[in-house]
Amino acid sequence: MNLIQSYFNKTITCNNMNYSGGYMSATINWLSMAYSCLLLKKYHPTDNLIFYGNEDMVRILGDLFQLPYDDYKIIEANDEFSTWFYCWPKILTYEAQQNPFIHVDIDIFMWGTLPSSLMEAPLIAQHLENDSTFYLNVYNQMKEDNICFPGFMEVCYDNNVINSYNAGLLGGHDLAFFQEYVWEIRKFLELNKSQIAISDRKFLYNVVFEQWLFYGLTRKYNKSVCTFYKKPIKNFNMEEAHVPLQILSLKKLAYLHVMEYKRNIACNRFIVYKMRSEFPDVYDRILSICNHKGIKSSLYYNSPASINSFFDSNAKNEYSSNSKSLSEIDELEYKKNEAEDLEILETHSEKRNELIKLQDNHNILITDIRNGNLRNPSPMLSLNPLLQVSEISDLLLRKFLNNRENELASDWILLKLYNPLFNTIDKFLWTKQKYELLLSLLKEENIGEILTYKPSLSKPLKEVRGFITQSIFDGIITIRL
């Protein structure tokens, strides 16, 4: 079985790698791709791992980053479909397969081998989807654009619910099916080319021809599809597979598909922490190359400190009226918070390397918690000594809460925490009640046992554990064995 991954982007070149791919920075985008590859190779050492991409992507991942794919293959997509649809080159990748394969999206992380039921199945997908929200909007757009679709796709629409297979994982042993699948995609796109050409929402059709058509064709031939998640996902509610929940719960990880969470701060932090702790040589290589290519990042060891300002240049007067006095208050508030941030950075950045080592140890303990390897079943939990608690003004509170007038600044506080690895200040807006709850929990004897407690927890204790684990991930709570 070949495990394959692909990535195509003609705006990226070996001399222009500053592309974030939806993440918070280009460096994290590259670290994410590398982490996906490295995990696949770690847990599938005997399977062929092959990367497909345009020439520059192959040179970046292969020549520069030296990711351990067994083979790199160049596919150039130069027709209009490649400019319309981000997943068109992926379809060409399916078409190129001459041996059984599983395509794994490059934003998927797997901590373990794929089950034999998937590796041996004629057809596989990540999961079955039933959606009456976004996909229904796509369906209505198709009608508005007068799109014609083959009769076998009618089963996708079922009483205002769209049925589909998610293609985070897609493949199998039935290569004849995939050849017909690609042929049907080409036929669908050629038939509707003139209508799609004038549509201002072309991007919506990616899911139609890759995922819906796959579902319809499997139903046409009564083909069974083996899925990684056994239960259908309804209305994109991933429940236990919800990405932020998986990261912040500190539970054992098996499979994580980032998808729409690329802008999630915890997700970005997680990728950096895991790459640094699990694959430090590749981590250092990627950062060194990105730095050499002129990509700005606070992750570099010699990078200047970064201030996450409450106000950007267009938002300083977001809540001001035409009153000069109110505008002056805005400016004073901005300068006050900037000064506080600079003071924190100046205090801690000189000890950055020492603090990074402590942060590394903290993240190793988090991994031990996830894997059930914590040596002490009742670790000591305490507030991070770097944590600074500040009052917050009405102005900043309204900015954080999207101008909700019914909230009082006196009920809220702002937590500021120096993050040495990112050389910046992480900020958390909490109610005073939430902070007082945390302080009271940390006073409880053996509160650390909640991290290693084996029997099922009651719902209130699950909520307490979730609160504690998120605070540990964020660095607000530190662990001592």
Residue 399 has pLDDT above 80, yes or no: no
Give the span between the Cα atoms of 300 and 304, in whole angstroms: 9
Residue 60: the pLDDT is 98
Domain count, the chain: 2
Is 332 within the bounds of a domain?
no
Structure tokens, 253 = 């990880």
Residue 205: the pLDDT is 95
Residue 331 has pLDDT above 80, yes or no: no
Q: What is the DSSP string of 327-374?
A: HHHHHHHHHHHHHHHHHHHHHHHTTHHHHHHHHHHHHHHHHHHHHT--
Is 289 within the bounds of a domain?
no
Between the alpha carbon of residue 324 and those of residues 83, 159, 327, the distances in Å are 49, 57, 5
Residue 329: the pLDDT is 55
Residue 241: the pLDDT is 83
Residue 398: the pLDDT is 79
End-to-end Cα spacing for the chain? 43
Query: Do 308 and 164 share a structural domain?
Result: no
Query: Once rounded to an integer, what is the mean pLDDT over residues 311-320?
Result: 32
Is 254 within the bounds of a domain?
no
Is the model more confident about 306 or about 424? 424
User: Tens digits of per-residue pLDDT, 178-234?
Assistant: 999 999 999 999 999 999 999 999 999 999 999 999 999 999 999 999 999 999 999
Nearest to 66, CA basis, from 289, 282, 295, 291: 282
CATH code for the domain in which residue 214 is found: 3.90.550
User: Tens digits of per-residue pLDDT, 135-157?
Assistant: 999 999 999 999 999 999 999 99
User: Tens digits of per-residue pLDDT, 29-81?
Assistant: 999 999 999 999 999 999 999 999 999 999 999 999 999 999 999 998 888 89
Query: Do 345 and 210 share a structural domain?
Result: no
Mean pLDDT of the chain: 91
Is 174 within the bounds of a domain?
yes
Between the alpha carbon of residue 471 and those of residues 244, 404, 474, the distances in Å are 13, 25, 5
Query: Do 342 and 239 share a structural domain?
Result: no
Is 298 within the bounds of a domain?
no
Query: Do 372 and 464 share a structural domain?
Result: yes
Task: Tell me which residue range forms the domain holding 163.
Answer: 2-243
Residue 136: the pLDDT is 92
Query: Do 365 and 221 share a structural domain?
Result: no
Residue 177 has pLDDT above 60, yes or no: yes
Residue 124: the pLDDT is 98
Give the span between the Cα atoms of 72 and 51, in whole angstroms: 5
Going by pLDDT thresholds of 50, 70 and 90, the confidence category of residue 304 is confident
Judged by phi (left if over 0) then psi (alpha if -120 to 50, else beta), residue 108 lies in beta
Query: Do 211 and 309 share a structural domain?
Result: no
Nearest to 53, CA basis, from 106, 100, 1: 106
Residue 330: the pLDDT is 65
Query: Do 348 and 237 share a structural domain?
Result: no
Is 260 within the bounds of a domain?
no
Maximum average pLDDT range among 283-292, 293-302, 370-379:
283-292
Residue 324: the pLDDT is 39
- What type of residue is 298? S
Query: Once rounded to an integer, what is the mean pLDDT over residues 273-285?
Result: 98
Judged on CB neighbours under 10 Å (0-12, 13-18, 19+), 11 is: exposed
Residue 317: the pLDDT is 31
Q: Which of 203, 223, 243 is the last residue of a domain?
A: 243
Query: Once rounded to an integer, what is the mean pLDDT over residues 337-366?
Result: 92
Q: Which of 243, 261, 290 is the last residue of a domain?
A: 243
Query: Do 442 and 356 share a structural domain?
Result: yes
Maximum average pLDDT range among 181-185, 236-240, 391-395:
181-185
Going by pLDDT thresholds of 50, 70 and 90, the confidence category of residue 328 is low
Residue 341: the pLDDT is 87
Helix (H), strand (E) at residue 238: none
Query: Once rounded to an integer, what is the mean pLDDT over residues 460-466?
Result: 93
Is 325 within the bounds of a domain?
no
Is 311 within the bounds of a domain?
yes
In this predicted structure, which of 241-250, 294-303, 307-316 has the lowest mean pLDDT? 307-316
Whether 15 and 293 have beta carbons less than 8 Å apart is answered as yes
Judged by phi (left if over 0) then psi (alpha if -120 to 50, else beta), residue 306 lies in beta
Query: Do 308 and 221 share a structural domain?
Result: no
pTM of the model: 0.92
Give the span between the Cα atoms of 127 and 130, in whole angstroms: 10
Give the span between the Cα atoms of 370 and 432, in whole angstroms: 29
Q: Which of 212, 243, 274 is the last residue of a domain?
A: 243
Query: Do 360 and 237 share a structural domain?
Result: no
Query: Do 309 and 230 share a structural domain?
Result: no
Residue 325: the pLDDT is 45
Q: What is the DSSP string of 26-60?
A: HHHHHHHHHHHHHHHHHH-TTSEEEEEE-HHHHII
Query: Do 309 and 236 share a structural domain?
Result: no
Query: Once rounded to an integer, what is the mean pLDDT over residues 309-333?
Result: 43
